[in-house]
């Protein structure tokens, strides 16, 4: 059985992530979507919220599981007997960083990285851009699924109400 991990911040999950997850789920026996916890980065959603949102929009893929991990990705792989990371590659701008990560992960624990090219329709898409556009009231409905859109709008509204009180 080939089990792979799709790691990321998923703050929030986008159609770009979902495209990679869907394609990977048709290739491998089991996909673990790992929400990596980075204490130094401020996130819009908590890890639990991100896990819940991912679970909601990937429920149709029976071989997809969601987990979280605080630490090195390769340590998660080792602890869970996973030998391959699957990641989407959007453009050449992703390449240097992703290559470096894949080489470090290979050297640290012998974990392989398989890059899947992002579908052209999503090649410009990132969670950060989605949050920025939405924070200015822009329409992001073609970038994230409906349940995520609802949560994003609610969170941004709550945050801005909080800021207005200050
Ligand atoms: O969605 P992102 O933020 O681009 O995902 C990046 C992520 C979380 C996959 C990457 O930062 C990561 O693997 N972090 C875990 C720590 C780690 O293993 N770093 C690589 C070796 S220094």
Domain ranges of the chain: 3-123
Q: Which two tokens stand for residue 146?
A: 């409906």
Mean pLDDT of 7-31: 98
Q: How confident is the model at residue 165 (pLDDT cuts 50, 70, 90)?
A: low
CB atoms within 10 A of CB 151: 19
Active site residue 90: yes
Per-residue pLDDT, averaged over 136-151, amounts to: 98
Global pTM value: 0.95
pLDDT class of 163 with cuts at 50, 70, 90: confident
> At 15, phi and psi to the nearest 5?
-65, -25
> Which superfamily does CATH assign the domain made up of 3-123 to?
HUPs (3.40.50.620)
The Cα–Cα gap between 159 and 162 comes to: 5
Mean pLDDT of the chain: 96
Q: Ligand 1 centre and the CA of 142: distance in Å?
A: 26
**Do residues 143 and 125 lie in contact, with contact meaning Cβ atoms separated by under 8 Å?**
yes
On whether the CB atoms of residues 84 and 112 are closer than 8 A, the answer is yes
Q: Provide the pairing of β-strand 3-8 with 112-117.
A: unpaired
Residue 166 has pLDDT above 60, yes or no: no
Provide the Cα torsion 13, 15, 17, 20; round to 10°.
Answer: 160
Per-residue pLDDT tens over the stretch 37-71 = 987 878 999 999 999 999 999 999 999 999 999 99
The torsion defined by the Cα of 93, 97, 101 and 106, in degrees rounded to 10, comes to 70
The pLDDT, as a whole number, for residue 148 is 98
| Cβ contacts of 81 within 8 Å, gap of 6 or more | 3
Answer whether 9 contacts ligand 1 (Cβ < 6 A): yes
CA of 161 to the centre of ligand 1 (A): 32
As beta bridge partners, residue 32 has: 5, 65
pLDDT of residue 123: 93
Annotated catalytic residue 127: yes
DSSP-based three-state secondary structure for 138: coil
Q: Is 41 a catalytic residue?
A: yes
Rounded to the nearest angstrom, the distance between the alpha carbon of 69 and the centre of ligand 1 is 10
Q: What average pLDDT does the segment 89-109 reach? A: 95
d(CA 145, CA 147): 6
115-127 mean pLDDT: 95
Of 22, 14, 10, 5, nearest in space to 59 by CA? 22
Give the largest CA-CA distance in the chain.
54
Active site residue 155: no
């Amino acid at each position: 059985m080939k089990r792979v991990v799709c790691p990321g911040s998923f703050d929030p999950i986008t159609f770009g992530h979902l495209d990679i997850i869907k394609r990977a789920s048709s290739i491998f026996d089991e996909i673990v979507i790992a929400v990596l916890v980075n204490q130094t980065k401020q996130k819009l959603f908590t890890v639990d919220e991100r896990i819940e949102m991912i679970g909601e929009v990937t429920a149709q893929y029976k071989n997809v599981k969601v987990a979280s991990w605080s630490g090195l990705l390769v340590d998660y792989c080792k602890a869970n007997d996973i030998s391959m990371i699957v990641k989407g590659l959007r453009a050449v701008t992703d390449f240097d960083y992703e290559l470096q990560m894949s080489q470090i992960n290979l050297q640290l624990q012998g974990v392989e990285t398989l890059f899947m090219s992002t579908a052209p329709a999503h090649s410009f898409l990132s969670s950060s851009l989605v949050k920025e556009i939405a924070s200015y009231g822009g329409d992001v409905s073609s970038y994230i699924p409906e349940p995520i859109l609802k949560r994003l709008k609610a969170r941004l509204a709550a945050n801005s109400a909080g800021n207005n009180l200050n």
